[in-house]
Amino acid sequence: MRPYRIRIASGFGVVLGLAVACASARAPVHTRAQGSCEQIKAACQGAGFVQGGGKEGRGLWLDCISPIMQGQSQPRRASKPLPQVDAQTVAACRTQDPQFGQTRSAAPAPPTVQVASPQPLARASGRPNVVFILTDDLSLNLVQFMPHVLQMQKDGVTFANYFVTDSLCCPSRSAIFTGRYAHDTGIFKNEGPDGGYLAFRDKGHEQVTFATSLFAAGYRTSMSGKYLNGYLPIQHPAAPGWFFWAVAGNGYGGFNYNLRQDNKLVHYGTTPADYLTDVVSGLGVQFIKQSAEQPFLIEIATFAPHAPYTPAPRDANAFPGLKAPRTPAYDAAPDASAPQWQRNKHALRAADAAGIDRDFRMRAQSVLAVDAMIGALQAAVAAIGQERNTYFVFSSDNGYHMGEHRLMPGKMTAYDTDIHVPLVVTGPGVPPDRTVEEIVENIDLCPTFTELAGATAPPNADGRSLVPLLHGQTVPDWRTATLVEHHGPNRDPADPDLPGVRSGNPPSYEAIRTRTDLYVEYETGEREYHNLVADPHELHNTFSSLAKQQQTALSAAVRAIQNCHDANSCGEAQRVNFGASTK
């Protein structure tokens, strides 16, 4: 088994924060940024770096300018330390000339050490730690197979009405990182100009996440597992805000993958020790044990239980005979008022049912390693004496349907199978065995993490901190509705979430979910409404039976949330009571 070498990764880029916007507001971008690039070059020259000095470890570009501009460390051979450069100067230079400081050598990226980091917080600061476990495509019906998560429910708070803003990986993860809806991030898909890692990076979102906020506040931060669709470990650097980075690209199979780890490309093969969930678990345990003297946030984002649903070898025979749940929605024929994309679905065949049962069994097997990882992380926290000062947060980026509405396995719909996912939290001040009924969303995680850490939240976040709800407080003006935004249909063959022919592939839609209502507006002009009190499995579209006034109220509520752009405007738009009027 290969030894794990963990080195503190560069977080220089995080101190930029909102400096790009600030710098551009103070002076004409061209004049200021061009001068800033020259200032960086002059600072390196003043520190003793020279053109052609690479052999002595004091090359102007490779050993000084490139590390500063890319937020990375110097090569090991560097013989002089980096000069201190104001973050606003770097931000302004990047704005004007994104290519300035790009590595001018074919040499591989060097391993990283901390560069120009904020003053780290000592443990005596009293700040709590955060351990965030984010799974991939984990539906609510899989929690029953995870004993550590079930114990977390007993020890802490379960959010009974937690929803994602899109049932698709990259838009959902973008919302988690930034606290913003897709209509503000512009990230609606996994690939292309409006989705994926490249769009997230190029739109500047990496500079303003919960990671950059906590890093700037002195936290040690670690990101392991899955980042954003389209991220390539062989090509792309660590994102700003993370001390340690161990991220895969295509890790869905669980074996034979690469991690950009410690800023090196590390290949893992096909032995049981290479199983991805176990690898990131081990890295997480090591990071925690190295963080005894400093507050930390760690996110471990597993690829499990995403297709192909690969379990750990030790769990491959678990749950013999297990079948997918047969809820009233399973194999239910769409009614006459169902949207066009859902009509004409024929009944599930015996082979369909057998395949669904096999896949569900493998999904249940694959989450056993995730659950074991949670136990290992809890033990690591206890080993450094921080069990009473650490929040554990368990969730998923989206849900998954398996036979409901006659759909083969998939996601992307506005139904609860796809948008309603687990959120369980334990930690200091969190009352045990408590269920919170308020409507909460994945855009709330970013402001929650920043408040827990005493950090500065991104000022443009649409979500609200869950801290009052975590600690048992009543919040009278809390939202009553959540927005779901989806762009479709998905026809990109490069997308690992490309739906099968019978998996469900709806057109673009905007939807509202309250405790008692689901309302969907499709770009086709079709409308869908379910009274969840009378129709909890979302089988009967009754929009046409609503009074015109009620239909107008539903549409107005969608427009209001769709056009909100910060926590205040979104909070106001989300406090609607149309549910009472549609009964």
DSSP letter string, 422-487:
-EEEE-TTPPSSEEEEEEEEGGGHHHHHHHHHTPPPPTT--S---HHHHTT---TT--S-EEEEE-
Q: Please check whether residue 187 is in contact with residue 170, taking contact to mean a CB–CB distance below 8 angstroms.
A: yes
133 with 224, same domain: the answer is yes
Task: Give yes or no: 169 in active site.
Answer: yes
* Residue 316 within any structural domain of the chain: no
In this prediction, residue 441 carries a pLDDT of 98
366 with 470, same domain: the answer is yes
Beta-carbon contacts of residue 53 (< 8 Å; ≥ 6 apart): 59, 60, 63
How wide is the angle at C-alpha 336 spanned by C-alphas 334 and 339, nearest 5°? 70
Average pLDDT over residues 45-66: 82
175 with 283, same domain: the answer is yes
C-alpha–C-alpha distance, residues 461 and 16, integer Å: 17
In this prediction, residue 53 carries a pLDDT of 77
Beta-carbon contacts of residue 336 (< 8 Å; ≥ 6 apart): none
Average pLDDT over residues 104-130: 56
Q: Please check whether residue 229 is in contact with residue 216, taking contact to mean a CB–CB distance below 8 angstroms.
A: no
Decide: helix, strand or coil at residue 311.
coil
* Residue 62 within any structural domain of the chain: yes
220 with 131, same domain: the answer is yes
Residue after which a domain boundary falls, among 411, 444, 475: 475
The CATH number of the domain where 219 resides is what? 3.40.720.10
Q: Please check whether residue 529 is in contact with residue 582, taking contact to mean a CB–CB distance below 8 angstroms.
A: yes
* Residue 113 within any structural domain of the chain: no
Decide: helix, strand or coil at residue 162.
strand
Domain with 573, as residue range(s), is 483-581
pLDDT range class, residue 30, cuts 50, 70, 90: very low
Strands of 509-513's sheet in order across = 482-486, 509-513, 517-522, 527-531
pLDDT in tens, 34-46: 488 888 888 888 8
Nearest to 403 by CA among 435, 451, 446, 358: 358
494 with 417, same domain: the answer is no
Active-site residue (options: 37, 64, 93, 169): 169
In this prediction, residue 234 carries a pLDDT of 95
C-alpha–C-alpha distance, residues 295 and 381, integer Å: 11
Q: How far is CA 214 from the centre of its chain?
A: 16
What's the token pair of residue 325?
């749940």
159 with 271, same domain: the answer is yes
C-alpha–C-alpha distance, residues 314 and 312, integer Å: 5
368 with 445, same domain: the answer is yes
pLDDT in tens, 121-135: 777 678 999 999 999
pLDDT in tens, 530-559: 999 999 999 999 999 999 999 999 999 999
In this prediction, residue 160 carries a pLDDT of 98
561 with 509, same domain: the answer is yes
* Residue 179 within any structural domain of the chain: yes
Decide: helix, strand or coil at residue 261.
strand
* Residue 108 within any structural domain of the chain: no
Residue after which a domain boundary falls, among 54, 81, 96: 96
- Tell me the β-bridge partners of 135: 396
How wide is the angle at C-alpha 452 spanned by C-alphas 448 and 454, nearest 5°? 115
Q: Please check whether residue 175 is in contact with residue 181, taking contact to mean a CB–CB distance below 8 angstroms.
A: yes
* Residue 262 within any structural domain of the chain: yes
**Residue 477: half-sphere exposure toward Cβ, Cα within 13 Å:** 9
Decide: helix, strand or coil at residue 116.
coil
Q: Please check whether residue 228 is in contact with residue 174, taking contact to mean a CB–CB distance below 8 angstroms.
A: yes
Residue 535's identity, in one-letter code, is D
pLDDT of residue 70 exceeding 70, the answer is no
464 with 490, same domain: the answer is no
Measured in Å, how far apart are the chain's first and last C-alpha atoms? 61
* Residue 351 within any structural domain of the chain: no
Beta-carbon contacts of residue 438 (< 8 Å; ≥ 6 apart): 159, 161, 469, 475, 478, 479
pLDDT range class, residue 57, cuts 50, 70, 90: confident
Nearest to 50 by CA among 37, 65, 68, 69: 65
pLDDT in tens, 470-504: 999 999 999 999 999 999 999 998 899 999 989 99
468 with 540, same domain: the answer is no
Residue after which a domain boundary falls, among 78, 96, 114: 96
45 with 77, same domain: the answer is yes
Nearest to 300 by CA among 234, 236, 372: 372
Tally the domains of the chain.
3
* Residue 346 within any structural domain of the chain: no
In this prediction, residue 14 carries a pLDDT of 33
304 with 403, same domain: the answer is yes
CB atoms within 10 A of CB 438: 17
In this prediction, residue 109 carries a pLDDT of 32
Q: What is the mean pLDDT of the chain?
A: 88
95, 199, 266 from 18: Cα distances, Å? 12, 18, 33
pLDDT range class, residue 83, cuts 50, 70, 90: confident
In this prediction, residue 112 carries a pLDDT of 31
Nearest to 221 by CA among 122, 128, 130, 112: 130
